[in-house]
Amino acid sequence: MRIETMAVHAAAEPDRETGALSPPIHLSTTFEHPPDSGELDGYLYSRYGNPTQDRLESALAALEGGAACLVYGSGMAAAAAVLAALPPGAHVVLADDTYFSVRTLALDFGRRWGLEVSVVDVSDADALRGALRPTTRCIWIETPSNPHLKVADIAAAAELARGAGAILVVDGTFATPMLQRPLALGAHVVLHSCTKYLGGHSDVQAGALVVADAGEMLDTLRAQRTVLGAVAAPMSAWLVLRGLRTLACRMEWHCRAGQAVAEALAEHRAVERVHYPGLPTHPQHALARRQMKGFGGMVSFHVRGGRAGALAAAGRLRLFRNATSLGAPESLVEHRESVEGPRSPTAPDLLRLSVGLEHPDDLVDDLRQALEG
């Protein structure tokens, strides 16, 4: 079964009681059980499991080709779960262009948990290999990365991880399983902020981890989530499940519009440089062509005139909304340095675009008028 069909039909069996094709939302926090507290029909308490959440986990595991999936209340909760599951003293190799909050999580909280963290340009295979230690237990890559759209070689990173006795975690939020399937390339865990493309409508917050094997890591993550309670709410799980049904067609349009926007920006005199894997000038364009089915809807670019020029252009946009997040029908623009704060590693002249589902010509026209003042 092709993945586009799978997205529509995974965990979509009709409701047993009513025959409803749209799955029910089970809002109950508790379930009846026998006097000896044995579980009845597999459910006891919502922190342990919920039928709506189970449907979503089954669907995401199928789409990623994984053994199992665990859904969380946010993408950051999912990221924290992986790091917290590592043994104290473990060394983590972290991609240098990782989502800023994950970077903060690893460098600040991870070190409090006894982890050692090295920040490396994982798009450079030699740099990644050189960063490995005898204590390395996790390689964490984000591809394409946020916000510079770097592309890392998943298969090569997976081989290095296995040789080091480490797990490879891939944040696949920008690509989604429609464009890239990290587990098929050797990754151990793939992470998604379901808030973004999987939900797809700016109305839900959730995260997910899909694991390649039903082994010790899955057992640790499941036990940890049960105790800490970082589960997704039933309504959130239902909204993400709904979003999956249209993911294939949405990603096709995001890719088409993203390519058009990137090409137009690359030719504009007010733009210094564009980051988009679909451009032949991208340093990892050839790798992206091999590893991905499409290049996505995320574009970032440097505006001539520095920070002032970038903020002025963002302020003149009419269709692109100045807002955080991505992957929604509406196009968004974000000045990453401002959002990330004083510790931001992002250049002050960079704007990040989430190219939405509007007509590409209208978006290009909006960017041109904003850049030309």
Alpha carbon 237 to its chain's center? 16
- Predicted local confidence at residue 33, as pLDDT: 82
3-state secondary structure of 143: coil
Mean pLDDT of 336-340: 94
Partners of 271 in the beta sheet?
303
Tell me the pLDDT tens digit for each residue of 5-36.
999 999 999 988 899 999 999 999 998 888 87
Q: Kindly state the DSSP code that residue 115 receives in the 8-state scheme.
A: -
- Predicted local confidence at residue 41, as pLDDT: 63
3-state secondary structure of 66: coil
User: Active-site positions?
Assistant: 47, 99, 171, 196
- Predicted local confidence at residue 38, as pLDDT: 67
Mean pLDDT of 293-301: 98
pLDDT at 37 over 80: no
pLDDT at 40 over 70: no
- Predicted local confidence at residue 26, as pLDDT: 94
pLDDT at 281 over 80: yes
Are 11 and 62 in contact, with CB atoms under 8 Å apart? yes
Are 73 and 236 in contact, with CB atoms under 8 Å apart? yes
- Count of C-beta atoms within a 10 Å radius of residue 138: 25
- Count of C-beta atoms within a 10 Å radius of residue 29: 10
Are 81 and 209 in contact, with CB atoms under 8 Å apart? yes
Mean pLDDT of 232-243: 97
DSSP annotation string for 146-176: TTT-----HHHHHHHHHHHT-EEEEE-TTTH
User: Packing angle between helix 51-64 and helix 234-244, nearest 10 degrees?
Assistant: 30
Q: Which domains does the chain have, with CATH numbers?
A: 3-244 (3.40.640.10), 248-372 (3.90.1150.10)
Are 150 and 169 in contact, with CB atoms under 8 Å apart? no
Tell me the pLDDT tens digit for each residue of 66-81.
999 999 999 999 999 9
| CA-based radius of gyration for the chain | 21
| Sequence-distant (≥ 6) Cβ neighbours of residue 370 within 8 angstroms | 313, 314, 316, 317, 318, 320
- Predicted local confidence at residue 35, as pLDDT: 81
Q: 274, 355, 348, 271: which is closest to 311 by C-alpha?
A: 348
Tell me the pLDDT tens digit for each residue of 123-170.
999 999 999 999 999 999 999 999 999 999 999 999 999 999 999 999
As given in the structure block, the two tokens for residue 223 are 């036990």
Tell me the pLDDT tens digit for each residue of 192-209.
999 999 999 999 999 999
Partners of 70 in the beta sheet?
209
3-state secondary structure of 18: coil
Rounded Cα gap, residues 353 and 323, in angstroms: 10
HSE-up (13 A, CA, CB side) for residue 191 = 29
- Predicted local confidence at residue 280, as pLDDT: 98
- Predicted local confidence at residue 18, as pLDDT: 93
Q: 228, 194, 238, 226: which is closest to 51 by C-alpha?
A: 238
Average pLDDT, the chain: 96
What is the CA angle 137-217-198, rounded to 5? 100
User: With bands split at pLDDT 50, 70 and 90, how would you rate the model's confidence at 252?
Assistant: very high
- Predicted local confidence at residue 119, as pLDDT: 97
Tell me the pLDDT tens digit for each residue of 218-228.
999 999 999 99
Residue with the two structure tokens 């002032």: 308
Tell me the pLDDT tens digit for each residue of 73-111.
999 999 999 999 999 999 999 999 999 999 999 999 999
As given in the structure block, the two tokens for residue 7 are 């997205």
Are 106 and 113 in contact, with CB atoms under 8 Å apart? no
User: Where would I find the beta strands (DSSP E) of the chain?
Assistant: 68-72, 91-95, 116-120, 136-142, 167-171, 189-193, 207-211, 271-275, 298-303, 321-322, 332-334, 350-354
- Count of C-beta atoms within a 10 Å radius of residue 1: 8
- Count of C-beta atoms within a 10 Å radius of residue 221: 21
Q: Which amino acid is at 71?
A: V
Q: 159, 365, 158, 141: which is closest to 257 by C-alpha?
A: 365
Mean pLDDT of 367-371: 98
Q: 173, 174, 146, 332: which is closest to 255 by C-alpha?
A: 174
User: With bands split at pLDDT 50, 70 and 90, how would you rate the model's confidence at 39?
Assistant: low
Mean pLDDT of 285-301: 98
